[in-house]
Amino acid sequence: MLEAKHQAPIRLNDPTLWIDDSLVNDEWVALEQVPRFPVTNPATSEVIGTVSDMTVEHCREAIDRAHEAFKTFSKTTPQFRADLLQDFHQLVLANKEDLAKLVTLENGKSLTDSIAEVKYAASYLQWNSGEALRLYGRTIPSSLPGTRNWTQLEPVGVVAALCPWNFPIGMICRKVGPALAVGATVVIKVPAETPFSVLALIELARRAGVPPNVLQVVTTDTHLSAIGDELCTNKKIKKISFTGSTRVGKLLASKSSSTLKKLSMELGGNAPFIVFEDADLDAAVAGALASKFRGSGQTCVCANRLYVHESIHSVFAAKFAAAVDAMKVGNGLDEGTHLGPLIHEKAVAKCVEHVEDALKRGATVVTKQRPTPSRGAFFNPVVLADAPQDCLLTDEETFGPVAALIKFKTEDEVINLANDTDFGLAGYFFSRDAARIFRVADALETGMVGVNTGVISQAVIPFGGIKESGWGKEGGAEAILDFCKVKAVIVGGGK
């Protein structure tokens, strides 16, 4: 049986943030007689530590504890919760270097990307500290004589947060932030690939003063499906917030139908990135780099199909390829690294499949060949010019550092191509034509549109998609409603 190490494999400013125990009744404990599963550094293929492979029974106990904690936490004042989130926010920023190192160690992304993720995560805690004080109801003029109407917002109950490995800190804070703001408790299903950064984050939440059992953590690997079923069918869970693939999202939605839970689904994407003939090419190249290659291309809003007007295709391809060639590939902990490894070899195999398919259909590689690191799940970035519309990567989310440039002739043509997908999370385009900006922003069938920028996600905007990219919002004023019940109160007896 694998054993706990209790010592970080990397130097941390605060070594106590390396946690491989389980949180039970607000204490970190080693679960006796519970198997452990290994966590691997994708840059080296080395095991960095182990965590408990918790079972359905452990999950059920966590739900029960969160349910009991809800009875008191839901009665706390908005000011208390606002102060709590502000303290949590400050602790995350104060420990951003350690959190970033843990993210890079188990996820592989560059330390620069990890630092950016921690700051991004903290921004959701700060934003929701303000939202806690803005839980406004409404007074509604009555159509019945002698009555008064109003609405009030109440916490939804126990929330199940199922989070992905690509933004382990960011996605937790994006879900926990609004939950804590309204007075809900949360059971967090930790991604098996990246548990250590999440456990450190939860320890900071405890230090910030989050009351006992308000946040529950379930680590699992072999019991993932069974625990997912429990979260979907347990009547004490009132809402599920999921970030992940559309395939899994559909399964969770189906299983949750038995109890009609409230659902937020941030699912797969197939983002179009359009460069019109009147675009600022240098700005478009910078935007494409940011959108396509952040996290080595493993983001849900990543540009997946790059449409470039035929009149500028060659010039853009040359500029873009040169910029990609200048990016350093390596261990994310090494100074100067832009692109780290992919999360595992399956991700590498998908990138290989997409590139080989595009080449067979007439695409050409315009980036330079470079040696691949001898170990780890690495895939060197590739830019493909003259890619056809019918290749695999136009229909499937690559989730890796492969950028395919597809020519188009007219605005109407590219809008049709961009919308010809079952997904609708994000879309991007570059143009200096003011009238076109309004037309195309209206025409793209996505939940979010980036215009002359490749970076869109912020705590202050509603993040979410349409079509098979899911429903519900995280961020902005809209997100808080997904964690609330709206109650109408009608009072009679007036004169």
Q: Is 266 a catalytic residue?
A: yes
Residue 26 CB neighbours (<10 A): 15
Contact 446, 427 (CB under 8 A): yes
Report the distance separating Cα 155 and Cα 484, nearest Å.
Answer: 5
- Of 173, 300, 302, 351, the active-site residue reads 300
**Burial readout 233-265 (b: 16 or more C-beta within 10 A, e: otherwise):** ebebbbbbbbbbebebbebbbebbeeeebbbbb
Report the distance separating Cα 151 and Cα 42, nearest Å.
Answer: 50
Contact 175, 186 (CB under 8 A): yes
The helix/strand/coil state of 103 is helix
Contact 468, 446 (CB under 8 A): no
Smallest CA-to-CA distance from 158 within 80, 266, 74, 83 is with: 74
The CA–CA distances, whole Å, from 332 to 9, 378, 495 equal 15, 11, 70
- Of 266, 411, 468, 474, the active-site residue reads 266
Q: Is 300 a catalytic residue?
A: yes
Place of tokens 């996820």: 107
Report the distance separating Cα 236 and Cα 157, nearest Å.
Answer: 8
Contact 198, 174 (CB under 8 A): no
Catalytic positions: 266, 300
